[in-house]
């Protein structure tokens, strides 16, 4: 059963291609959603998919960013649409 989850990534996550890497990693995972930079220097990612697929995707993003993520925190989801496929960059 699909679920919707949101996470905040903290660390050196802005200005390093984090959002674009997230979109690239999503191409090999069955998740959909969006990613955006936050004013406080974090990156927010809102996702929908099977729980195991979301976990695998988030772990893959951290591996792809190799040490840039210091912390990943689950946060409440926002209202609004999720794309029909893939992960898109929002501003």
Specify whether 37 is catalytic.
yes
Specify whether 19 is catalytic.
yes
Catalytic residue, candidates 10, 30, 37, 72: 37
Residue length of the chain: 91
List, by residue number, the catalytic residues.
19, 37
């Amino acid at each position: 059963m699909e679920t919707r989850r949101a996470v905040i990534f903290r660390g050196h996550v802005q200005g390093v291609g984090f959002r674009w890497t997230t979109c690239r990693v999503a191409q090999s995972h069955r998740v959909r959603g969006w990613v955006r930079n936050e004013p406080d220097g974090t990156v927010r990612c809102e996702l929908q998919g099977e729980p195991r697929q979301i976990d695998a995707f988030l772990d893959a993003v951290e591996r792809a960013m190799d040490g840039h993520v210091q912390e990943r925190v689950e946060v409440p989801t926002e209202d609004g649409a999720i794309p029909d496929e893939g992960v898109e960059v929002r501003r």
